[in-house]
Structure 1
Amino acid sequence: MKVRQAALGSAVFFLVGPGTVVILIPWLLSRWRFDGPPPSGLDWLVITGRVAGVVLILAGGAFLVHAFVRFVVEGFGTPVPAAPPTRLVVGGAYRHVRNPMYAAIFAAIAGQALLFWSLPVLVYLAIAIMVVVLWVRIYEEPQLRRRFGDDYVRYCGNVPGWLPRIRPWRPVFGESPR
């Protein structure tokens, strides 16, 4: 797939996929209203939660864009299952965690739950995490193992799926997996 086609496909998918999951559904659940603060004396908790929420939304958005760009420039494909990358994407944020797109989406949703102090968005986050983890285990990981073989097995052995490693993994492909 050409880089221009991959970029266009990724941009459209970005608007439809993550746009729905990160923006539309949380908005439908919260209408982005700031619910009233908890009982007096806990105002600091609300303020801290809202600041943390903004940080999570901004960081999640930045990492999500970064992960999409990696698919185009490194993988020569898109995150769309119908037009997957032709090369295993292991650079950038993928050197720290195998699922930076999903982690970024979860961060942005968690940020909205904190910013708007929204229990429905928090429940939505929990459901989204369960669905995505099952999707990754049942569909994505087996597909990637078939598609990229030993390189993907080695990658899985060195990079955690959900909680990032501190030091970036430096891949050396072509050797037998550990």
Structure 2
Amino acid sequence: MNAYRMKPLAFPWPPLIYGAALAAAFLLQAHFPIAVSDRESWIATAAGSVLILIAVVLDVWAMRTLLDCHTTIMPNRCSTHLATSGPYRFTRNPIYLGYTLATAGIGLVMLNPWCLVTATIAAGVTSIIAIRREELHLLSRFGIDFERYCSGTARWI
């Protein structure tokens, strides 16, 4: 493996990507509003609240699992152990999945449909900018163990 693959991300991009997605959604709603009926807004608020709660629980669970595995939470630091327990049994990227669910949940609570669009775009951008690079890093660090893990665990859900 070459040195490029041995390095994780140079900068922790995903939080910035999702922050930009939220900012873009609010700007889009301000300039190109999508009308949403207030009549049943409690349903959207309840669904959004549930998504945000799931996202927070998923993120905290994933971070706790990484700490229990004695590896880094930061995507720009080298991993010392491969986490395959906790939420990592179901998805290889539970923290990014949590960010995506939170962004969509905020959109539902705020009645901003653009958040659903930008959450999807942010997930795609995160896959291209962060996940591919992180997977190369993990492959170079853990080899066949990471390949085996990937074959049995979905990237997102």
TM-score by length of 1: 0.67
Q: Match for 1:96: what amino acid?
A: F
Equivalent in the alignment of 2:145: 151
Structure 1 residue ranges, 4+ long, deviating more than 6 angstroms after superposition: none
Aligned counterpart in structure 2 of residue 74 of structure 1, from 69, 74, 80: 69
Equivalent in the alignment of 2:85: 91
1:137 Cα deviation after fit: 5.2
Q: Match for 1:145: what amino acid?
A: L
Structure 2 CA distance for partners of 1:25 and 1:128, relative to 1, 3 Å:
closer
1:97-118 CA distance string (max 9 Å, x none) = 1110111110100101111111
Q: Confirm or deny: 8 A CA contact 2:92 2:154 kept in the other structure.
A: yes
Counterpart CA distance in 2 for 1:106 and 1:23 is 11
Q: Match for 1:26: what amino acid?
A: L
Equivalent in the alignment of 1:162: 156
Q: Which structure carries more relative contact order (alpha carbon 8 Å, separation 6+)?
A: 2
Counterpart CA distance in 1 for 2:24 and 2:125 is 19
Equivalent in the alignment of 1:62: 57
Between structure 1 and structure 2, the one with the greater Rg is: 1
Q: Confirm or deny: 8 A CA contact 2:14 2:96 kept in the other structure.
A: no
Percent of aligned positions with the same letter in both sequences? 27
Counterpart CA distance in 1 for 2:131 and 2:24 is 29
Aligned counterpart in structure 2 of residue 114 of structure 1, from 96, 102, 108: 108
1:49-84 CA distance string (max 9 Å, x none) = 211100001110111121122222214323232x23
Equivalent in the alignment of 2:3: none
Q: Match for 1:54: what amino acid?
A: S
What is the aligned-residue RMSD (CA, Å)?
2.8
Q: Confirm or deny: 8 A CA contact 2:18 2:122 kept in the other structure.
A: no
Q: Confirm or deny: 8 A CA contact 2:100 2:120 kept in the other structure.
A: no
Q: Confirm or deny: 8 A CA contact 2:75 2:134 kept in the other structure.
A: no
Please, which runs of 5 or more residues in structure 2 have no aligned partner?
Answer: 1-11, 28-33
TM-score by length of 2: 0.75
Aligned counterpart in structure 2 of residue 139 of structure 1, from 130, 133, 137: 133
